[in-house]
Amino acid sequence: MLVFVELVLLLVVPIAIAKIYCILTHRNCNSKVCLVGKTALVTGGYSGIGYQIVLALAQRGCRVIIADKSQDQNLLEKIYEETRSRNIVCKYVDLSSFKSVRELAYNVIKDEGKLDILINNAGIGRNVSSVTEDGLDITMQVNYFSAFLLTRSLEDLLKKTGGRIIFTGSGSSHIHNFTIDRLKPDGSESFTFYTYFNSKLCLIMISDTFAERLKGYGVTSNAYHPGLVRTNIFRSGINLEGTINKGWFTIKFLEYMSFVVGKTAEEGAQTAIHLACSNEVEGVTGGYFFETKPTFRPKIVHDKKMCNDLWEATEEIVKQKLS
């Protein structure tokens, strides 16, 4: 009986501590800034954190473009019921296809005179490798390469307004194994324990480079991590064929922990909303945030040469795939 109690305590106490930590450290975006006249694009705005970001921007009067693979004719009515905003546009994009990303960028440039806020929110988690039509690992392409391509494609619109770029990273990026050699252009590297973590790390690194390149135009670029959030990213990442590997156990563990101690999607969206509208971060660029405050970044992000090498390698890979 004593052993059983000890085992229960061993499991319950750390979870309880983690939950208390999440509650005590959580901060909401308290900005009262009006966004009437502003235009924002949110990838993955159909559900989860992205949907909560869309609601928050819409209720502040912002024109919001939802870029997502999922299309639901009832989505606009649902948003209207919650915000009373009709200034919402849905555009299709498949982030596993560079062609689709370019078509999205073309349509946004054609239809919009400017862009004030770009939030690269969409992401997936998978336990097996799957190669896209462009010959890249799907997790790396959806989470990283397509965010890079979309941001590069919309730079001129953002320069017009001195806009804000926001990348959704992850706290798990601290346990990466990234090297430039692992940025495979042919999708040949099979899934590893680190694939998702590496993709999120690359977003943080590239955010810094965008910040440096665009600061002369008044454009800011920042990354954040939302913490552990109860969304379907881990559930949808499980291979339907049921492949059991290290990645499978990792994703199942994260799914379990997000259910037990994780935040709601609305809570997870607060830092992105803060970065999108708060006066506190006006002119702030090259930062990494958690719970609306700057936080420490993975050590490798401070290596400027590595960040520049990543930029050059990414540009070369994207260029090859588009040619």
pLDDT of residue 15: 63
Domains and CATH numbers, the chain: 2-322 (3.40.50.720)
Say how many C-beta atoms besides its own lie within 10 A of residue 312's C-beta: 12
Tens digit of each residue's pLDDT (9 = 90 or more) over 134-151: 999 899 999 999 999 999
pLDDT of residue 238: 46
Pairwise CA distance, residues 292 & 320, whole Å: 38
| Token pair for 308 | 């520049």
pLDDT of residue 176: 82
| Token pair for 65 | 């473009």
Identify the CA nearest to 27 among candidates 282, 278, 285: 278
pLDDT of residue 73: 78
- The CA angle 196-201-206, to the nearest 5 degrees, is 130
User: pLDDT 10s per residue in the chain (323 long)?
Assistant: 555 555 555 556 666 666 676 666 788 999 999 999 999 999 999 999 999 999 999 999 999 999 999 888 799 999 999 999 999 999 999 999 999 999 999 999 999 989 999 999 999 876 566 889 999 989 999 999 999 999 999 999 999 999 999 999 988 888 888 989 888 655 455 446 688 889 999 999 999 999 999 999 999 999 999 987 766 665 555 444 445 555 556 666 666 566 666 788 999 999 999 999 999 999 999 999 999 999 999 999 999 999 999 999 999 999 999 98
Tens digit of each residue's pLDDT (9 = 90 or more) over 76-97: 999 999 999 999 999 999 999 9
Report how far apart the first and last C-alpha atoms of the chain are (Å, whole number). 67
pLDDT of residue 257: 61
Say how many C-beta atoms besides its own lie within 10 A of residue 14's C-beta: 11
Inter-residue contact 123 to 234 (CB < 8 Å): no
